Each structure stands twice: as structure tokens, then as C-alpha cells.
Chain A
Amino acid sequence: MNNYLDPYRDTGLLHLWAERLQKYQGKPLKLMEVCGTHTMAIARYGIRTLLPERIRLVSGPGCPVCVTPSYYINSAVALARRPETIVATFGDLMRIPGDEGSLLEAKSLGADIRVLYSPLDALKIARDNPERQVVLLSVGFETTTPIFALAIDKASQEGLNNFTVLSANKTMPEVLKVLAGDPTVGIDGYLYPGHVSAIIGTRFYEELAEKYGVPGVVAGFEPLDILTAVAALSEICNEGRHTVRNLYTRVVKPEGNPRAVQAMERVFEPADAVWRGIGRISGSGLAIREEYARYDAWKVFDLQIGEYSEPEGCRCGEILKGTKSPGDCPLFGTRCVPENPVGACMVSSEGTCAAHYKYGGIR
């Protein structure tokens, strides 16, 4: 059958764009992508090998699992160990090491943990198990959060009383501002995440370009999407223009998806959040609103937010800001490997270190 993605992967055109990029003679640039799916696509398609020395493409904090602090996992593991609970989660969270092991280890010791494709599937588990407490682990950026919001709203409408959500959802704008304003990071331009942008639109990026002087290009996820976006962004940066260009117009509209934003805002409100490897950023997270408190696992189970610390020797904080590469970390590939991750960037398959470990190619 015809693959409608083929034109976005045309090898001949990829060579032409790579050739054009190789001829880049402008100032040295540091471009940052902030999306785990971009991290993986860039590594998998070997995009960095097609770029000239002067254009450095780094991965920022775009993987929501990677930036989830260990106290969240500790709380999830503690809940999973209770005999009356079923923990429902995306598979990405299973291997993150907590102080008392990972969810995977808890499951191997008998905890009832179910891996989901959609947060909405957790509602069915709750309906089918009225005598148990179902706790849905909610981690994600603006792409995923509206779906968690839908699940909570539906539970509320149905009056489900054995369903709660342990939330650690985060939003992109504040962390993008922090990194744009940090001179040690020194970002020349952002490659914006296609599917976060599908929800929030592109207007915030205009503000970032005007106020912080950091331009950006919204990019899709196919090789030609990424390569043309890097070419456009390099041009904008080199010319010193503070503008934003959307090259993923087949999905991203300037206004985003207002219906999804409304769903998210109905259930969640802005809150401070801790980003693993970076620290606490004011207003960069989401908490469940008081009206939906009966679905907030933090409140229902009276869980305490623990201390936040990073493993000794781990360079994730600098890697997530693009100031160090995975190869600069003494733990990378020795103590810290995908099967037994130490730091944030190795824990999820979409992390910078995990991508580098699997595919190589990060300068």
C-alpha cells in the first residue's frame, strides 16, 4: 500500500537539503529541540551527521518522563505496594529508579501495575474492579495532559469513587523562558515540538522571540520535516531575526487546539514543579483543581512530596540544558546504561543519553 509518509522521507531530497546545510558559512549556532520524539527521530535518522560543524543541535528537557523527580516514583511505588490498589501507567515510567526500586521491580514482587495505551483505559479498569482503588499515573506535557483531564472529567461525571490520579504534569512555556534567559545555556534558536504546539499553538513562541530574542521553528517529525526546519532556523538565527516560523502547518495552527486547552484548564491549574536535573521552576507544572480534589491521589492518600536530589556524579542537569554532551558524563555507558539507568536522561527511551547510547552521533 502507499505510504503517505514517503514524500517526507525522500532520500534524494534529503541529500539536497543536507548538501545545502553543509555549505552553511554563517556564525556558529546552538539550536535546541525540546521534544523527546524529536530527540529520538534526530538520533534514529542520523540528522546530526548531516549538519556542518558550525550548527550544533542539542536536546533540551523535552522528555516528560526524564524530568520527573524521584519522589514521584517513590510515591507511585508506595501506592503500588498497597494491596487494595491497582496502579495504571504508561510503560515509560516502569523503569525509572526510585529510592526503593522501580515500578517494574514492585510489579515483579507482586504489585498490581497495568501498562496502558491510553489514560482513558484506566476508567474501564476502575469500573471492572469496584472493590479496588485505581491510581492513574499522570506524567506528560501539553500534548498528553488534555487526555488525563478528559479521564478525570469523565470519572467525575460517572461518579467513579475508586479512581484517582497521581499528577506530575508539566508545561513547556516557563522552562523555555528559563533556558532562553540563561546565558550559560546560550541558545540561538528553538526547534519547537510539533505535538505540544498542536495543542498550545504558536503565539507564545512569538512572545519568546520578541522578549528573549530567541527565534524558533515549529517542526514535524519526519526526516525532511526536521532537516528543512534546521535549515530555516539556521537562516533566521544567522540573519539575527527574532521571528517564528511554522513548518508543521499540516497539524499546527497559530491558535492550537482550543478545545483541548479548555479541557486541560477545566481540571488542572498552574503550579510550581520540580524538573529533574534542572530544579524547581515557578508555574511550570499543573496540579488538579480543588473542584476535582477527590480524584487527586496526592490529597486522597495524603502523600508527602519528598526531598529532591540528584545521584552523585550525574551530569543530567547540564545535558538537559545542552551545556554538556552524554559523552562528558563519567557515568554514561559505565554505571549508567538503559538497563540500569542512574540519571534522568537515560531513564526513558526518549532521553538524550538513551538516544545517544542506542544510536550515537551526539557531538
Chain B
Amino acid sequence: MCLAVPGKVTEIKGKTAIVEIMGVLREASLELLEDVKVGDYVILHAGCAIEKLDEAEALKTIELFKELKDIYHE
């Protein structure tokens, strides 16, 4: 039930955003977040953006996944 998906904010009208999820546009409430801007990635759950997605941290995690590759290649 806690399934939530990432999407990109393409438009903001008051407390509602239009969020693009893999090419699909959905309306989402922004009332549980502060300072969301067009272009931000958010995590959507049951019609609400519940958290922003931190792009720098997302890239760091991908680097962590690759740590093993480096170990194997050393």
C-alpha cells in the first residue's frame, strides 16, 4: 500500500502540481511539501507528493552500486 513512484513536476497551479511519470501526466497535491519548483522530482503516493527526490543523492546511490565493479576490476 505504501507504493510510491517518482515523477517530474511540469507545472504548478496553487497547491496542485502536474507531475510526469514515465510520460504520463497526473495531478498531485503539494500540500505536504514546501518549496517545490517546476523541474523538481517528487515521490507520489495516493495523489500527494510526499517527498522531494534528491538528485545528487540519487547519483551517489548509483555510485555506491558500482563500488563492487571497481573492486572486481582492481
Contacts and interface: CB of A to CB of B under 8 A. Distances in A.
Bound together: yes
A348 interface: yes
Interface residues of A, number: 55
Interface in A181-215: 193-196, 198-199
Nearest to A20: B68
A120 B43 contact: no
A247 to B, nearest CB: 7
Contacts of A35: 2
Interface residues on B, range: 20 to 34
B13 interface: no
Given A4-B6, A16-B68, A259 B34 contact: yes
Given A196-B2, A198-B50, A259-B33, A3 B22 contact: yes
Contacts of A248: 61
A144 interface: yes
Contacts of B58: 250
A340 interface: no
Nearest to A15: B68
A147 B1 contact: no
Contacts of A257: 32-33, 50-51
Interface in B29-54: 29, 31-34, 43, 45-48, 50-51, 53-54
A90 interface: yes
A317 interface: no
A250 B66 contact: no
A13 B51 contact: no
B65 A143 contact: no
Contacts of B54: 249-251
Interface string B1-18: 111101000000000000
7 contacts: A13-B68, A16-B72, A118-B46, A139-B1, A194-B2, A250-B53, A257-B32
Interface of B: 1-4, 6, 22-23, 29, 31-34, 43, 45-48, 50-51, 53-55, 57-58, 60-62, 64-66, 68-69, 72
